Amino acid sequence: MYAVIKTGGKQYRVAAGEKIKVEQIAAEVGQEIVIDQVLAVGNGSELKVGTPLVSGATVKATVVAHGRHDKVRIFKMRRRKHYQKRQGHRQNFTELQIAVIAA
């Protein structure tokens, strides 16, 4: 069984037992969270698609860790104008362990 969930402005396809990295969630490590924005639930060849959300469907997950992704380097330059700008960014994430998909 799998589900398509929406969190942090992004959509993820998840199944029970998977670990995923999502945008940072304000929760303690070890805390169980419930994601109720479920867009679709699939089981084999059967697929239930919401309009826009599947009513009554939830995904329970446990917060495993918080961290930061690798640095993304940004370099801007205007040719012949003596302009160069260097910048870096590290995005925060929360790692989740998917426990149960309840449809």
Structure tokens at 56: 């009554």
**Contact (Cβ atoms closer than 8 angstroms) between residue 8 and residue 79:** no
Q: Tens of pLDDT along 15-60?
A: 999 999 999 999 999 999 999 999 999 998 999 999 999 999 999 9
Segment 60-71 shows an average pLDDT of 98
Asked whether residue 103 carries a pLDDT value surpassing 90, the answer given is no
CB-count burial class (<10 Å; 0-12, 13-18, 19+) for 80:
exposed
pTM exceeding the 0.75 threshold for the entire prediction: yes
